[in-house]
Structure 1
Amino acid sequence: MRTVPQDIPADLFGKRAKDRAVRALDALATARLRWTTLINRKDLAPRVDDRRLTVVVRERRVEAHDQDVVSLRLEAPDGRELPPWRPGAHLDIELPSGKLRQYSLCGDPADTRAYRIAVRRIPDGGGGSIEVHDALPVGTKVVVRGPRNAFPFAVPGHGSPAARLHFVAGGIGITPILPMMRLAHRLGIEWTMVYTGRSRDTIPFLDEVESFGGRVTVRTDDEHGLPDAAALLPGVTAETAVYCCGPVPMTTAITDAIREMRGVELHSERFSPPPVVNGVAFEIEFASTGAVVEVPADKSALATILESLPDRPYSCRQGFCRTCKVRVLAGEPDHRETVLTADEHAAGELLVCVSRSAGGRLVLDL
């Protein structure tokens, strides 16, 4: 069983010490920019960091008894310090096949010489998890981008008005939550957690989670049945910030419940693309071939494009990583992301994972 560090690093997020003036400015900027309210604040779009780093897999560990989750410890080849990160951050991993996939950082930001990610094998997924499991042994060098943060953690008293925290994780959704728990523990903040999964054999990092003691409730479907929102949010009242990551049914139930709770913040990250809301059917014309495909009202442009062009690059499917960006040659886009600038929109840039057409046909540079 791993122990939970008790010492608070000189900087809360593991960065090297700065002078007082810079620390004060950083704290002020963090307080003004990092706290989130209920669901989808447009001013919290993640900063895109295209920095590319070569790292090497130094360690692999099986993190669930069913063998389906492995963690990788990634270090610089020469052992130097890596760029700092904050809880909630992720890396974009350039896999040997050319696929780009995102994985949450689940280590400790105070460990400045290593990143840790964990990946569950998904046999019927897009192939990225299988490649991590089968093609990244110890000693393999890989290129990563980031760290980036699309799930920022706002500490009470350091950017959030909440008085206490409640964490909810489902299965591999524990990965972005673990660093948040550690930081809350170090700072002495009042917090609780519910951790769910199919069975104790399938949920990763169980020893690490249970080392926090009575703050944590572990619920498994085989022992307790499927949890409802009340079981996932025990004791959540006004002035609580809820951080949630897991499968869509779980996050949806929590979102619906918290909408009815006054004074409760919700911060969440999901595994799958968001559902299309108020979509209309439209057509896409591939400029390179003249082929035309129809995008149904309830389906993303990316999903439709991949049926004809399965090798098109994509990653987050949620409108922030830019991997699926294309150029619009004709038609009226309906931009539904928050990361492209007005100039990029004017230049015809479009993220096809979430953005659509306002009606009619889009001609794309495909």
Structure 2
Amino acid sequence: MDDATNDAELEQQKLKKLRDEIDGIDDRLLKLINDRAQLAHQIGVIKQGNLYRPEREAQVLRRLGDANPGPLPQQAVQRIAREVMSACLALEQALKIAYLGPAGTFSETAARTHFGGAPDLIPCAGIDEAFRAVEAGNADYAVVPVENSSEGAVGRTLDLLVSSPLKVCGEVNLPIHQNLLSLAGSMTTISRLYSHTQSLAQCHEWINRQLPLVPRTPVASNAEAARMAAEDPRAAAIAGEAAGKAYGLKTLAANIEDDPNNTTRFLVLGRHDAGPSGHDKTSLVCSAQNRAGAMHDLLAPLASHGVSMTKFESRPARGMGGGRWQYVFFVDVEGHQAEPALAAALSDFTSRAGFIKILGSYPVGH
């Protein structure tokens, strides 16, 4: 037997040993995951009622991410933990999640990112329908877009937050990567381009360079654009990877967004408040009294109580009985409304505001 044969046999023996070790680890993992599921079941028996606790899940993900020794990156560890928690919860409570559909939208990706693969997802034709699904009890939670780093706020979501009884109990910050999708094999044959208005805007410069003469048609969603492109070999859609897979389209160009840091923030809406997780954010909407210096006075309690404001955005008041040029202000601050400093600031804030509504306190998204 020559040296080459000996080396090959030694290599196969090493591979078998390593694979046997991996199989042993997998067996232990399987037992531990099922042990965890049994403990989760015992907690469910004690708690009953609503078992999903966004603050608890945030604490678990944060703890595991901080404790991770590698070589797996923190994000991978947290994705695995999210799926384990999702599967364990599904044994006790089958969640239904409404989202801005159809299938293949970024809203669907955000819902899966936050809740994992176990819940049933309910695609909704519009943001209003997603709100109504939870309000009527047909879904447990809704995931809706609220702002994009390039194109700004989603006005319809903000308007509905003012009037809806739902609570913000979570957020998802999703990096948005746009792709040119088509049945065609080359961009040279493309004669029609479909996408959502915001996606067309996010890829404006790229389209001007690569497809300057191709007519652009705005449609209701990127997934709808992908569906239309799947019916016409001379058409293309700008949409995400999930939409391309859902409709069997080729990726002619990837990551064509003008801003490589393009991110959309989604809100998770439910009928219950989230408890403190230790790293939270509180959202509210308010209006200032109609007098000189009212806005300065309104915000002063935040500074005096050491509360940091992370967002301040104005929006025309709709359906509140205000006159022309009346505005409401959407404010995000650090902390949970149950924390003493923020509770004191909100108490002072309320006495100075013309109108105030706490939209919810929830774990900070990553």
TM-score above 0.5: no
Q: TM-score, normalised by structure 1?
A: 0.30
Greater Rg over alpha carbons, structure = 2
